[in-house]
């Protein structure tokens, strides 16, 4: 199993190209199930989760052509996928594929919408809480599907097709909003989705659906109005830059110090994070190229944050921010309100010398003057990268084990950090 070795103490200087957003690329690939024509996606990140989803879609009969890397293209340049779901040969998404990645459960909506039936294994993914799917099923039922759970599978049927309906979510869920949207675009009649998630990745998917002929009003707002159409056609779409990767590298620079431009980063998807970083004493400036992050000489200030649905502080940056706060000049409080078990990085950060106390859903982080390198274990995707951030400032050598978590969501992490002067090496085997 691969490991990543970090020798701390180097400042970061230079620039990092931000990849396409994993959390947009995955649902966009799933959208391809809604049309027999070809959907061309540009700027798809090269990630294990993308490869996994290719396999899952392949199982349904979807053909995916990948354009090879062109001469002179950077190792980090995104891929172009040409995805064609001409014929759906199988409406079952089996356990061994779905259990490895939660987002693959989202094939449920498009499969029912296009084929009138679907059998999809209950999902797996990062172990950061119970992560139920009740809201996904509610959305399908409001659109006229009948859903049963048998032997670990959701079996959904809408033999006469889906009908428009009124879906009012009791809380904000990214996945359930994707599911409802993807199913409603082909339902007969009008659908209203209330309390929809407004994460930029939802907007990206909705904009792609519109290019394919879907009728959606209220994109980027809490209420989506969809007028169903009988079919969708092919389209071409570029995946938005990854705001979580952007925030992660911003926090890495904040931690290590230095001056790095995050090329292609979109500040408008990160307002809350930018403000939080600035309050922590880190200079964040919008430039023509993206976002410039600087910390030279000054210390890190403690800032309290609470995770919230967009436009709040993202839960997917909570672990990284905690990594940064471990060396703040004082105590910060980090409250996690989205997932109930998302503090698994705390005990690993403690191995590096961090002083963190958990009180229910709140972590009290008492800044320390120094961290020291140690062996640490990645427990989930975002937690793993918080350990890299801490390792960049720790004295000596930090060895991160179970790197496969990281490979699910961060493209060429070692290359990107090393190019800015970090001493980060992957050790294979
Ligand atoms: C997505 C993101 C993940 C991010 C999360 C929150 C992708 C591939 N993943 O995950 O990176 O951390 O949004 O921003 O985009 N819930 C229910 N019932 C449901 C569905 C969700 O109770 O049927 C709850 C969850 O347990 C959680 C909350 O709703 O407490 C939000 O989860 P949700 O937004 O659905 O997360 P995901 O879509 O799984």
* Segment 239-268, tens digit of pLDDT: 999 999 999 999 999 999 999 999 999 999
Q: Do 246 and 369 share a domain, yes or no?
A: yes
110, 33 contact by CB (below 8 A): yes
Q: Look at ligand 1, atom 38, and give the residue with the nearest C-alpha.
A: 175
Q: Do 229 and 270 share a domain, yes or no?
A: no
Minimum mean pLDDT range among 8-12, 121-125, 415-419: 121-125
pLDDT in tens, 53-65: 999 999 999 999 9
- Among 179, 204, 238, identify where a domain stops: 238
Kindly report the pTM of this predicted structure: 0.96
Confidence of residue 227 (pLDDT cuts 50, 70, 90): very high
Q: Do 281 and 153 share a domain, yes or no?
A: no
Confidence of residue 175 (pLDDT cuts 50, 70, 90): very high
For residue 128, pLDDT over 50 is answered with no
Task: Give the residues across from 146 on adjacent strands.
Answer: 157
Q: Do 140 and 232 share a domain, yes or no?
A: yes
Tell me how crowded residue 75 is: count the other CB atoms within 10 A of its CB. Answer: 12
Q: Do 212 and 79 share a domain, yes or no?
A: yes
Mean pLDDT, residues 98-104 taken together: 88
Q: Regarding predicted confidence, which is higher, 34 or 125?
A: 34
Longest dimension (CA), the chain: 66
Q: Do 171 and 80 share a domain, yes or no?
A: yes
Q: Is 126 in the pocket of ligand 1 (CB under 6 A)?
A: no
Rounded to the nearest whole angstrom, what is the distance from the C-alpha of residue 126 to the centroid of ligand 1?
Answer: 11
pLDDT in tens, 336-387: 999 987 899 999 999 999 999 999 999 999 999 999 999 999 888 888 899 9
Mean pLDDT, residues 157-173 taken together: 96
Q: Do 269 and 316 share a domain, yes or no?
A: yes
Let me know how long the chain is: 429
Which of 108-118 are b and which e, b meaning 16 or more Cβ less than 10 Å from the residue's Cβ?
A: bbbbbbbebbb
Q: Do 270 and 370 share a domain, yes or no?
A: yes
- Mean pLDDT of all residues in the chain? 94
- Among 215, 238, 261, identify where a domain stops: 238
Q: What's the number of domains the chain is made of?
A: 2
Determine the pLDDT at residue 69.
64
Q: Is 23 in the pocket of ligand 1 (CB under 6 A)?
A: yes
Q: Do 230 and 172 share a domain, yes or no?
A: yes
Q: Is 134 in the pocket of ligand 1 (CB under 6 A)?
A: yes
For residue 47, pLDDT over 50 is answered with yes
Mean pLDDT, residues 222-244 taken together: 98
- Among 238, 258, 292, identify where a domain stops: 238
Determine the pLDDT at residue 378.
87
Q: 166: which 2 tokens? A: 């009124």
Annotated catalytic, 126? yes
Q: Do 206 and 256 share a domain, yes or no?
A: no
Q: Do 401 and 274 share a domain, yes or no?
A: yes
Determine the pLDDT at residue 126.
47
Q: Is 339 in the pocket of ligand 1 (CB under 6 A)?
A: yes
Q: Do 210 and 171 share a domain, yes or no?
A: yes
Determine the pLDDT at residue 254.
98
pLDDT in tens, 269-312: 999 999 999 999 999 999 999 999 999 888 999 999 999 999 99
| Domain at 368, CATH number | 3.65.10.10
Mean pLDDT, residues 391-399 taken together: 97
Range of the domain at 329: 3-15+242-427
């Amino acid at each position: 199993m691969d490991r990543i070795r970090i020798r701390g103490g180097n400042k970061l200087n230079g620039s990092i190209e931000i990849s396409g957003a994993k959390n947009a690329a995955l649902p966009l690939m799933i959208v391809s199930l809604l049309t027999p024509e070809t959907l061309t996606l540009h700027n798809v990140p090269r990630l294990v989760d993308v490869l996994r989803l290719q396999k899952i879609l392949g199982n349904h009969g979807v053909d995916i052509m990948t354009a090879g890397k062109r001469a002179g293209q950077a190792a980090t340049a995104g891929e172009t996928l040409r995805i064609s779901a001409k014929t759906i040969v199988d409406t079952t998404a089996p356990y061994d594929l779905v259990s490895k990645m939660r987002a693959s459960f989202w094939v449920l909506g498009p499969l029912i919408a296009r084929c009138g039936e679907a059998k999809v294994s209950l999902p797996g993914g990062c172990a950061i809480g119970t992560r139920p799917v009740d809201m996904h099923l509610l959305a399908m039922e409001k659109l006229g599907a009948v859903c049963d759970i048998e032997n670990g599978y959701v079996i959904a049927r809408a033999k006469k097709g889906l009908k428009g309906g009124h879906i009012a979510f009791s809380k904000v869920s990214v996945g359930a909003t994707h599911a409802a949207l993807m199913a409603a675009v082909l339902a007969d009649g009008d659908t209203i989705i209330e309390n929809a998630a407004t994460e930029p990745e939802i907007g990206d998917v909705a904009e792609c659906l519109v290019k394919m002929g879907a009728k959606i009003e209220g994109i980027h707002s809490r209420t989506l109005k969809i007028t169903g159409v009988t079919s969708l056609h092919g389209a071409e779409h570029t995946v938005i830059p990854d705001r979580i990767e952007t925030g992660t590298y911003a926090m890495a620079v904040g931690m290590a110090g230095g001056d790095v431009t995050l090329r292609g980063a979109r500040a408008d998807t990160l307002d809350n994070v930018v403000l939080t970083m600035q309050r922590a004493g880190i200079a964040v400036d919008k430039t023509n190229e993206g976002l410039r992050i600087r910390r030279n000489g000054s210390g890190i200030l403690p800032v309290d944050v609470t995770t919230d649905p967009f436009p709040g502080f993202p839960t997917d940056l909570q672990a990284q921010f905690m990594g940064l706060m471990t060396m703040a000049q004082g105590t910060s409080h980090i409250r996690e309100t989205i997932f109930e078990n998302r503090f698994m990085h705390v005990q690993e950060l403690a191995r590096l010398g961090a002083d963190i106390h958990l009180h229910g859903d709140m972590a009290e982080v008492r800044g320390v003057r120094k961290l020291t390198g140690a062996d640490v274990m990645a427990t989930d995707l975002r937690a793993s990268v918080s350990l890299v951030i801490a390792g960049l400032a720790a004295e000596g050598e930090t060895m991160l084990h179970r790197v496969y978590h990281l490979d699910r969501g961060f493209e060429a992490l070692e290359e990107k950090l090393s190019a800015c002067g970090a001493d980060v090496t992957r050790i294979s085997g």
